[in-house]
Structure 1
């Protein structure tokens, strides 16, 4: 049995959450640019959950801009797909199978552009969501009357112009526009591009006013790991359990966050799906959520990826299964990073609460996150994510953060590399060759060819042009990094991690 609107009534498995027949009669309220698994696993998840609770009562029209993909599958399954939620939350194992029916139909921007513009005439349409990758939010000077325009902002502006004309510039028919692309201030940047493009297309002044005053471009931050399709064996097992086949079935972790920046009561009213799940947060300033994610989740990854990889761990979940590493990264987050990032809008309690949730995510047995992937552009990540935290720690304490120092030492050792015949840079750890995928690999390679450990540490740390700070001037930091680097060179990473545990340096 294949998943479809006709067969949904035959699904009797208690393992599956299915929509009621009345769900399919809900009006279309959302226009979604993008078909990727992140949109299906996060915004569409929240909308589906709210619909099933009778809160939002609206469906999603998906606009597909790329060629190929799952268009036929969406048509055959009436837009439905199964989301398998797997992971740990508050120490408890979570396993849910949800048939998501939030998508009413999929339209191709290339072949169905007239139908996309027809959606602008729908008075119930209120929200536009996008995830077109970071490259999607760029200014392309083009004619928005093309069928269709090439860029996402061009398509968006064409839709808004059609909306303006359909309702004679009515103030209450402006849209709530929420890009989820992973760039800072994505909503503000998208609005500015649309305004520039409107000027380029010589659009009427009244439209420009309506665009500016009656459409809400909201900055947003999304956070959920959605690996996508299930492995073949797991897919087959799910089909046996549920009693149906679903070629669009995807998996996600339990944790979910969609932080949307707005202080508008109209926006809050329109985004009523927020009432269905605490993972949707609407706030006047979402920088606190960005800081938490950047420093505790991304930052802890960066401080430990080299150390864990050199210790022989391939994935995050494998490392978390090691008691010594588990204790190391927990202490790093709770004892060193969390206290350093607190401020007027971010309490220590908030930081520690977020850190505990991140640790649950790291322990998720259903997600295979490769450490070597996390090391990509290692040096830039270290600079952007972690050096500000290191400096804040010193401002407040003036002492060496030992776990950060060990993480930095492992970073230096991981970056010990040489250029191969393919012009790429490779490192070697106990006979295991690995790619150093970093734009600054040559910079590190040159230093390793001519410097001993202590001199290398001093020269790297003192390069203020590289780090935007003279890290060698931080009291005791260079000495600590040198000491840990020597231990890594002599004994390896795994013994160093265990030594932290045995010496009771971490609680």
Structure 2
């Protein structure tokens, strides 16, 4: 039996399965969504569905499909799909299966553009969501009279122009646009591109005035790991337990966050936020950007080289190891949290750090350390160098956990072999690829040099870091000491010794 509207009544009730009421399928369409991807289905659509089930938002989503990918599964399943939430929350393992009933229909931009524009005539539809990847929010010389325009901003502009015409530019016909693409200030960038495109297409001044005055583009930050469809074996096992098949079934972690920049008027439109504290609408989301960038991404970057060189393949292996887990926790709570260059309440930082650790421990998601090392140098510069700088604004002593993480970075970047344009390091006589734009730089730097000399040369390279890292009191010697110890005794032994030294100090 395949999941569908007709099948809902035949699915047996189970403790870990949430089955929607059939009446939810009759709710009006209130959201236009550009993108069919798992992140949208696992986060915004998850919140909308949750709100609908609580009687709060009472609206459904029309999805615009811009690629030639097959959407027949949505049609066969009447837009229904299952989210399998797996992870750890407050120290407890969570396994939930939720049939999501938020999607009304999926329309193809290439073949159903007129039907998409018809949605602009629906006054109840006041929200536009998107996740077209980072490449989607770019300015191209697009003709918005094409059917459809080629770019996402072009499609959005054409839709808004149709909206303007349908309601004669009334104030109440304005929309709230919330992009979820993983770029900084995504809403502001999308707005500037749409406005520039409007001028390039010589659109009417009154429309542009309506566009600027009565439409709200919100910056937003999304954070949830949504791996998508499980492997064939796991999928079969899950479907047997659920009692139905689902071509759109997707896995998701428990943790979720959607931070949206907006005012009270924005809250009124995005009323689904009331269903879950993980949707935060606030005038400034910098706090959430900093928490994610430093405590999640920054912790990843300080840890990934160390963990990989310690022999751990996935995040869970490292943070459940007695030695490494202590290091990771102390790094987050004692050094990174204190050095975030933004004023944040201590409890908020501590709670976020604890959430990060639980996410690392997720027994249902295998997050590979080697994949986190991709473009290691740029990540270290963007995420972690500001933490080092901030630490020294507040203290004089070297941050030993950060120094250890930086030493692990240098050792991971020790490229010993070149094949064509690829560079390889070596762990226990087994090569690993260094996927980094600076791989050649490190390959040449490590040639015929001792670790201490490499550390000094790299750390004082202002072109690489936009600052001289050797200028910070004691930081160079701390990195050199840890790097030399790793090369002599092994990474995990160095980490263990760090804790021993603190106890005996």
TM range, smaller chain = over 0.9
What displacement does 1:490 show?
0.9
Does residue 350 of the first structure (1) align with residue 351 of the second (2)? Answer: no
CA gap of 1:504–1:472, structure 2 versus 1, over 3 A, is closer
Taking only aligned residues, the RMSD between alpha carbons, in angstroms, comes to 1.3
Q: What is the SS of the residue equivalent to 1:420?
A: strand
CA gap of 1:476–1:379, structure 2 versus 1, over 3 A, is same
Matches within 5 A, 1:89-108: 89-108=89-108
Aligned twin of 1:245 = 245
CA contact (8 A) 2:144 2:157 kept: yes
CA contact (8 A) 2:290 2:342 kept: no
Aligned twin of 1:116 = 116
CA contact (8 A) 2:341 2:387 kept: no
The C-alpha deviation readout for 1:117-170, integer Å capped at 9, x for no partner, is 010011110100000001100001121000000000000000000000001101
Gaps of 5+ in 2: none
Q: Of the candidates 403, 406, 425, which is equivalent to residue 404 of structure 2? A: 406
Separation of aligned partners in 2, 1:142 and 1:461? 45
Aligned twin of 1:397 = 395
What displacement does 1:250 show?
0.3
Matches within 5 A, 1:420-499: 420-499=418-497
Instruction: Compute the TM-score of the two structures, normalised by the length of structure 1.
Output: 0.98
Q: What is the SS of the residue equivalent to 2:125?
A: coil
Q: Choose 148-157 or 91-100, whichever is displaced more.
A: 91-100
Does residue 282 of the first structure (1) align with residue 277 of the second (2)? Answer: no
Separation of aligned partners in 2, 1:9 and 1:266? 39
Aligned twin of 1:236 = 236
CA contact (8 A) 1:342 1:348 kept: no
Aligned twin of 1:27 = 28
Separation of aligned partners in 1, 2:335 and 2:282? 28
Separation of aligned partners in 2, 1:266 and 1:491? 60
What displacement does 1:92 show?
1.4
Q: Of the candidates 372, 377, 380, which is equivalent to residue 378 of structure 2? A: 380
Aligned twin of 2:48 = 47
Does residue 310 of the first structure (1) align with residue 309 of the second (2)? Answer: yes
The C-alpha deviation readout for 1:47-89, integer Å capped at 9, x for no partner, is 00000000000000000011124x0111100011000001111
What displacement does 1:347 show?
1.8
Does residue 18 of the first structure (1) align with residue 19 of the second (2)? Answer: yes
Separation of aligned partners in 2, 1:366 and 1:505? 35
Matches within 5 A, 1:168-179: 168-179=168-179
What displacement does 1:422 show?
2.9
What displacement does 1:506 show?
11
CA contact (8 A) 1:188 1:218 kept: yes
CA contact (8 A) 1:327 1:506 kept: no
What displacement does 1:465 show?
2.1
Separation of aligned partners in 2, 1:319 and 1:458? 29
CA contact (8 A) 1:331 1:506 kept: no
What displacement does 1:463 show?
1.1
Q: What is the SS of the residue equivalent to 1:458?
A: helix
What displacement does 1:182 show?
0.6
Q: Choose 458-467 or 360-369, whichever is displaced more.
A: 458-467
Aligned twin of 1:334 = 333
What displacement does 1:317 show?
0.8
What displacement does 1:419 show?
4.5
Separation of aligned partners in 2, 1:140 and 1:506? 62
Matches within 5 A, 1:169-318: 169-263=169-263, 265-318=264-317
CA contact (8 A) 1:4 1:76 kept: yes
The C-alpha deviation readout for 1:271-330, integer Å capped at 9, x for no partner, is 010000001000000011000000000000000100000000000011112111111111
Q: What is the SS of the residue equivalent to 2:233?
A: helix
Q: Flag as ranges the 4+ runs of structure 1 deviating above 4 A.
A: 504-507
Separation of aligned partners in 1, 2:32 and 2:504? 49
Q: Choose 228-237 or 248-257, whichever is displaced more.
A: 228-237
Q: What is the SS of the residue equivalent to 1:229?
A: coil
What displacement does 1:343 show?
4.1
CA contact (8 A) 1:87 1:93 kept: yes
Separation of aligned partners in 2, 1:194 and 1:343? 31
Aligned twin of 2:68 = 67
Aligned twin of 2:38 = 37
What displacement does 1:432 show?
1.7
- Equivalent pairs counted in the alignment come to 504
Q: What is the SS of the residue equivalent to 1:426?
A: strand
CA contact (8 A) 1:144 1:158 kept: yes
Aligned twin of 1:323 = 322
The C-alpha deviation readout for 1:392-447, integer Å capped at 9, x for no partner, is 01110111110110110110011010453332000001112100000001111111
